[in-house]
Structure 1
Amino acid sequence: MAQSWEQLQEIQPVVLKMLKNSLNKNRLAHAYLFEGMKGTGKREAGMLLAKSLFCLQPQDVYVPCEQCVNCKRISAGNHPDVHMIEPDGLSIKKHQIQQLQEEFSKTGVESKKKVYIIAGADKMTVNAANSLLKFLEEPHAETTAILLTEQLQQMLPTILSRCQIVTFKPLSPIRVVEQLVERGIDPLLAPLLAQMTNNLEEALALSGDDWFVQARKIVLKLYEALRKNPLETMVALQESWFLHFKEKEQCDRGLDLLLLLLRDLLYIQLGKWKQVVFLNEKQRLEMFALQSSSKRLTEQMSAVLEAKRKLHANMNTQLLMEQLVLKMQEGSTFV
């Protein structure tokens, strides 16, 4: 993930430009809320902003050197005027915010500046959030607050109104693929992982997950059964799918894989080979694509999307899958 301003420029150019302008004009807000999906560089951007404020030898007004004692201490998490708060268990407690307030009531140890970063700010208890609110309402001079969240809708409106909200865009699949290959992931697997998740760490975890390897095989097996007859399809569900995709989240992931498989078949029919993500199965997919119509594939994709909606509405997964495969076989004409 972004460890330097150059890397942040690549993945979050809009965020970088905004922070750069604020630093150049010496107009930093007293409180920021960095919001966006996991893995989009929020924490790293918070650390870079802290370094840019304390760096002893900045390369520019805003680019920290990463070599001075302040930069190194911030990276190591032991700078006396930069404080990081993270959830204690499942939540951020009131006493954590109170400790922060006590710390900030003292004069800066080495300068007047102080920075605090609250990771998982949406996980504050009501009491913690109210304590923080008082802190935000009476900001100390030269104090910068940086709140990080993946769940903007969970934040108190009163806190949102006192922060400058900075949105971190999801990483592009192309960027995720590049990062995965850089980390040693098979280039044939990386495009599929990048479609499954926007989060680099989650994609890396999936790449070595035996459950995910088996999930891909089962999805292909189900599609092959769909091309034959309802009896074989029900057997595939009973013998493979239901045993592997037991939880709601697992079933959702299986439906995502099925959707990507159908989309690949459409791309192959359109000659868009660069868009295909099941790269380890290109030959089989080419055969499947020749034996189906684009209209049928489009209808089947719609059926899978509808099944995902029902799943999120808590429909029984077994009934849902049985209905889905019957729907996908309706009037099926594999020619």
Structure 2
Amino acid sequence: MSFRTVLGHEKSIHWLKQAILQKRVVHSYLFWGNEGIGKKYVALQFAKALNCLDKGWEKGDACDSCLSCKKIDQQIHPDVLLIEPEGQTLKVDQVREMHKDLAYRPYEGRRRVVILSAADRMAPQMSNTLLKTLEEPPLHTILILIANHTRGMLPTILSRCQSILFNPLPTSLVSRWLVEKKGMDEKEASLLALLSEGSLGKALEIKEEIDEIPREGLLKEWVGVKSLTLEEIDSLIDSFPSQRPNLILILEISKTIVRDLIVTKISKDSSELIHSDLSETYKVIASQWNVSSLFHRLEILQKTTRALQKNANTRLALETMMLAWAEG
């Protein structure tokens, strides 16, 4: 594993390689972007390149075969520390312990590299401890903060780090990776890639969750139903998952079902369906709809999903969706 093995992120990797080759590596970096897109993996490859015994500093990349590279791959290198949150957030003691560790010179490598995950989920007290480290960076030490976003992070921390944004991976890359590395069929991989928001990690999480979603039930009891009573609407809203990410996933799956209904209306080719196992049910339900009404429902689902992603009130967003649904 090395920069050569990273999927996507060409621009970010180019910057890091140039920093190594031009000897312009700074003390503090912030790698940020959507969860599960490879930030931590790239940070480890950066650490390998910095400590590679086979002229990593001259090549700008790791060899993957020297003792240092192998130790980092196995996460047993004494100079490469990966600090993960215990639970949902980092603990104060973890950051304090890191601050102490940074005072020591590297044991084996050229640089001591500390990778701090969940840097966007720190309490103010932890942020202040981290800020002390950033204000007086130890020699021979590089700190890499990993964050999903920069909201809530202290401006003084952000100003002391070189920020590198990691963009979502293209859908085609995610799909190809799922087929080649996970052995999925192309249709399943395409669906997961579509829902993943450019994140390999999220694609794999959705894979586990999607089997629990009653797609045919969604189609027959909600997505494909032309009209609902107020009691049915209340019951449906109450049945939706309370956790926002799970609710958004339900809406994303519902969008693919509406999309399939549209395909069923305008094409007889079932190979174009995302959920081809529902093709017979689609034929029955699609016959009751016109295409413009289905597009209207698709638009409503898209608006509701965007609202929830922006932290809109869940109940209000669902009620608004259902009322707009009835107007279609």
Length-normalised TM-score, structure 2: 0.83
Deviation digits for residues 246-276 of structure 1, max 9, x if unmatched?
4253433222222232334456677799985
Which of 248, 251, 257 is the equivalent residue of 1:255?
Answer: 251
Counterpart for residue 25 of structure 1: 22
Give 2:8's aligned residue: 11
Matches within 5 A, 1:170-249: 170-182=168-180, 183-198=182-197, 199-209=199-209, 212-214=212-214, 216-221=215-220, 222-226=222-226, 229-230=227-228, 238=235, 241=236, 245-249=240-244
Structure 2 counterpart of 1:130: 128
Residue of 31, 37, 51 corresponding to 1:54:
51
Cα distance change on mapping 1:197 and 1:61 into 2, 3 Å: same
Amino acid at match of 1:158: T
After TM superposition, list the pairs within 5 Å mapping 1:145-164 onto structure 2. Answer: 145-164=143-162
Q: 92-101 vs 284-293, which deviates more? A: 284-293
Instruction: Tell whether the 8 Å contact from 1:188 to 1:279 is kept in structure 2 after alignment.
Output: no
Partners of 2:211 and 2:275 in 1: how far apart?
Answer: 17
Give 1:173's aligned amino acid: T
Unaligned 5+ runs, structure 1: none
Give, in whole Å, the separation in 2 of the partners of 1:236 and 1:136: 53
- Note the C-alpha offset of 1:62: 1.6
**CA distance change for structure 1 residues 253 and 89 in 2, over 3 Å: closer, same or farther?**
closer
Cα shift at 1:13: 0.8
Q: Name the structure 1 match of 2:61.
A: 63
- Of 154, 167, 170, the residue aligned with 1:169 is 167
Kept after mapping to 1: 8 A contact 2:2/2:45:
yes
Q: CA 1:121 to 1:280, structure 2 compared with 1: closer, same or farther past 3 Å?
A: same
The CA deviation at 1:212 is: 3.1
**What does residue 118 of structure 2 align with?**
120
Deviation at 1:329? 4.2
Change (3 A) 1:223 1:90: closer
Cα distance in 2 for partners of 1:266, 1:47 equals: 45
Quick check: 175-184 or 264-273, which moved more? 264-273
Tell me which amino acid in the other structure corresponds to 1:304.
L
Cα deviation digits, residues 95-126 of structure 1 (max 9, x gap): 33332232232232235522111111112222
The farther-off stretch of 55-64 and 160-169 is 55-64
CA distance in 2, matches of 1:294, 1:94: 56
For 2:137 and 2:75, the matched residues in 1 are separated by 23
Aligned counterparts of 1:235 and 1:51: Cα–Cα separation in 2: 57
Alpha-carbon spacing, 1:188–1:112, altered in 2? closer, same or farther (3 Å): closer
Q: Residue by residue, what CA displacement relative to the aligned partner does 1:260-307 show, whole Å, maximum 9, x if unpaired?
A: 323344566777999853344456557766764443233222332444
Contact 1:188 1:280 in 2 (8 A): no
Task: Kindly state the Cα deviation for residue 178 of structure 1 after the two structures are TM-superposed.
Answer: 1.7
Deviations 1:18-73 (A, max 9, x none): 11111111111211100011111110111000100111124761221112111111
Do structure 1's residue 304 and structure 2's residue 301 form an aligned pair? yes
- Give TM-score, length-normalised by structure 1: 0.81
Give the Cα separation in 2 of the matches to 1:273 and 1:146. 48
2:188 is aligned with what amino acid? L
What amino acid is aligned across from residue 86 of structure 1 in structure 2? Answer: E
Is the contact made by 1:264 and 1:278 (CA closer than 8 Å) also made in structure 2? yes
Structure 1 stretch displaced more, 66-75 or 179-188? 179-188
1:93 maps to what in 2? Answer: 91
Q: Secondary structure of 2:59's match? A: coil
SS across alignment from 2:145: strand
1:212 is matched by which residue type in structure 2? E
- From 40, 62, 76, the equivalent of 1:78 is 76
CA distance in structure 2 between the aligned counterparts of 1:315 and 1:213, rounded to whole angstroms: 19
Name the CA shift for 1:111/1:135 in 2 (closer, same or farther; >3 Å).
same
CA distance in 1, matches of 2:307, 2:144: 38
